[in-house]
Amino acid sequence: MTAVAKPLNGAAVSSHQNQRGDADETALKPVPGAGEIVLVASGKGGVGKSTVAVNLACALRHLGLTIGLLDADIFGPSVAGLLGTGEGLAVGEDGRAVPNERHGIHSVSLANVLAPEAAMPWKGPLVAQAVTQLFRDVAWPDLDVLVVDLPPGTGDVQLTILEQVPVAGAIVVTTPQRLSTVDAERGIALFHEHDIPIFGVVRNMGEYVCPCCGERQPLFDAGEVAAVARGAHVADLGQIPFDPDASARADAGTPLVVAEPDGPLVKAFLDLGRQVMAAIAREQRGRARRERQGDDQQAFWERLLDD
């Protein structure tokens, strides 16, 4: 029997569908309403990537931007739980899914449409189809930035996005352990191979800030991540402290940036948000410069042919 998944707009899609044809048809077409697309990646699981993605989205919202958050972690979606959006997605008159809005963030996750215990034994083509629908079958409002929470590693989801969606840049999340940084290097290599700008590497859970006295206690050697950043010629975006209350906040569906607006983590995420905004601005200036150069070259050849 052919495996079938239920897309966000309710139409059935066969896992035998030709994905290459879909990829060619939608190659690098802008996602309506999505604005600039920023990927949050990690080389391996357990480094707090989804927590960073959600709190980065909240920080960018706090800095005045209109933000969307797409959970592309097909097999382990976490965004719905971290934001507390629960189950269910509304469907607009055009048949596209309407993102949930909570804490000022417009978000979509497979966890909104599948039961928590549902298994997803999907092969590559069906995973690619689901990822495409998360981008293109959703009625995104006019966003300044769409943050995308990627699954760990360098698999089908990453390749589908890089082949179909224009990406402004990516950040890579890791802990300062050698086992994590080795996998982070693989993620950086993937983005370099596809000419995706890497905004930098984020060191997560690298230190503990005492809630009583504010003393900072390193949990790992931060030099490992700094060496990775230098070796890959990407920025070190700084450190996100460890918070022992993070698990309780996640279970409550309240991001740390929202729950503790005066806490030490808020400053760290706001600093990260400002660096991401600056990186996006640099990419926009670079695109504008390349477009001007292209126009100048076109005008040069037109004048040459006219002569």
Higher pLDDT, 27 or 50: 50
Reduce the DSSP state of residue 58 to 3 states and report it.
helix
With the CA atoms of 254, 165, 44 and 101 taken in that order, what torsion angle do they form, in degrees rounded to the nearest 10?
10
Each domain of the chain, given as residue ranges in start order, spans 19-306
Higher pLDDT, 47 or 249: 47
* Residue-level length of the chain: 307
Q: What is the mean pLDDT of residues 44-63?
A: 94
Report whether pLDDT(31) > 90: yes
Higher pLDDT, 252 or 162: 162
> Alpha-carbon distance 89 to 144, whole Å?
22
Q: Please, what is the average pLDDT of the chain? A: 85
Homologous superfamily of 19-306 in CATH? Answer: P-loop containing nucleotide triphosphate hydrolases (3.40.50.300)
Any idea which of 86-100, 165-179, 214-228, 261-275 has the lowest mean pLDDT? 214-228
pLDDT of the residue at 248: 80
The CA–CA distances, whole Å, from 73 to 32, 101, 158 equal 21, 19, 10
In this structure, what token pair is assigned to residue 60?
A: 């960018």
Q: Tell me the pTM.
A: 0.85
Given pLDDT bands bounded at 50, 70 and 90, which one contains residue 3?
Answer: very low
Given pLDDT bands bounded at 50, 70 and 90, which one contains residue 59?
Answer: very high
Report whether pLDDT(18) > 70: no
Burial of 271 (0-12, 13-18, 19+ CB in 10 A): middle
Higher pLDDT, 124 or 91: 91
- Contact (Cβ atoms closer than 8 angstroms) between residue 71 and residue 109: yes
Q: Which residues of 42-56 are buried (b: 16+ CB within 10 A; e: fewer)?
A: bbbeebbbbbbbbbb
Angle at 255 between CA 132 and CA 49, to 5 degrees: 50
> Alpha-carbon distance 44 to 241, whole Å?
19
